[in-house]
Amino acid sequence: MPYPVEPMLAVPGELPRDGSHYALEIKWDGIRAIAYVDADATLRLTGRKGADYTQRYPEVAELVPRLAGHRVVLDGEIVAFDPAGRPSFARLQRRMHVTDPGSTLLFSLIPIAYLPFDLLYLDGYALFDLPYADRRTLLESLDLDVPQRFPGDTVELLEVTRGQGLEGVVAKRLDAPYRQGRRSEWWIKVKNLDTREVVIGGWRSGKGRRSGGVGSLLMGAFGPRGLAYLGHVGTGFTETVLDDLYALLVPLEIGDSAFAEPLPPEMTRDSRWVRPELVGEVAFTTYTQERRLRNAVWRGLRPDKVPAEITL
């Protein structure tokens, strides 16, 4: 059984013109996870770069009895749902840093679901070189709750996801193999809202109710010269999130800016600099001419991402 498996990644883009060569899947607003079920009925769960999620999301263990007699490796998404049944990245945030949710109320208050969408190994056979269509057929033959796939020419699906407040769709070529750790044009993510990962390089103190705490974050991404400034984000936070960020940022404080270029003067007043070790995600409308994120809204931390891979 291959271990650990690095997930295959999609490229951003638009729906393919020739949809007959593709299938469409809903883009779930969660985090990727590879599940391994072995012959002795043990389950392991890993994220990007082999991060161990097994204890963090014990609900995934429900796969084991359903796969009795099989040895499998699955690719899928860990998702938390809101009361209306929509994926909620904000709710998932409350589970991401809890290593033993069984000892807290969060386990029952914010359950998660594991949605498998690809099969990479089955009963002694690695399936990486099989076409996507064949891997999905094998996956759907197992006793699992597999998210639905749609024909690639179902163009109205994107509009449906937009109306339901979902993130978008992923178009996958029917004849595509699975390539570990590669971002491939065989998979195309088509989003209803632009989002991107950012590295936190500093923060500015808040005013009013936020006085003394975090008011906004200074964001960047790595380029040829180092950490490039992408702007600041000051909306999308709850009071709990701001408190959590403050506790994480203070131990990372450094004396000078880690950004490669000088920041606008209005951003340096009362700014506090940190080692660029935390990755977050923001939604935004567009880039400005200076390559700043316009109308950025905070979505949450991404502990499943490594700062060095957040690039321009």
**Rg over CA atoms, the chain:** 21
Quote the CA–CA distance of 120 and 123 in Å, as a whole number.
11
Q: 9-191, what's its fold?
A: D-amino Acid Aminotransferase; Chain A, domain 1 (3.30.470)
Q: What's the average model confidence in pLDDT over 85-113?
A: 80
For residue 137, pLDDT beyond 90: yes
Asked if pLDDT for residue 184 goes beyond 70, the answer is yes
Q: What is the pLDDT of residue 233?
A: 95
Strands 293-294 and 286-287: antiparallel
Distance between CA atoms of residues 155 and 25, nearest Å: 12
> CATH topology of 9-191 equal to that of 194-309?
no
Overall average pLDDT of the 18-22 stretch: 94
pLDDT given for residue 50 in this prediction: 84
User: In this predicted structure, what is the pLDDT of residue 165?
Assistant: 80
In angstroms, the CA 241 to CA 236 distance is 9
The residue from 27, 172, 191, 305 that is catalytic is 27
Q: What is the pLDDT of residues 47-69, one digit of tens each?
A: 988 889 998 898 899 999 999 88
| pLDDT for residue 97 | 74
Give me the chain's average pLDDT, please: 91
Predicted pLDDT at 225: 94
Q: What is the pLDDT of residues 102-136, one digit of tens each?
A: 666 777 788 899 999 999 999 999 999 999 999 99
Token pair recorded at residue 25: 């899947």
Give the pLDDT confidence score for residue 101 in this predicted structure: 66
Domain parsing of the chain, residue ranges:
9-191, 194-309
> Which tokens hold the place of 70?
């099989």
Whether residue 27 lies in the annotated active site: yes
Tell me: pLDDT of 9 over 70: yes
What 3-state class would DSSP assign to 201?
A: strand
Rounded to two decimals, the pTM is 0.78
Task: Name the pairing type of β-strands 9-12 and 31-37.
Answer: unpaired
**Per-residue confidence band for 5, with pLDDT thresholds at 50, 70 and 90:** very high
The model's confidence at residue 162, banded by pLDDT at 50, 70 and 90, is confident
Query: Quick one: fold of 194-309?
Result: OB fold (Dihydrolipoamide Acetyltransferase, E2P) (2.40.50)
pLDDT at residue 44 in the model: 95
229 vs 102 pLDDT, higher one: 229
Q: What's the average model confidence in pLDDT over 162-177?
A: 92
- Measured CA to CA, the distance from residue 173 to residue 187 in angstroms comes to 7
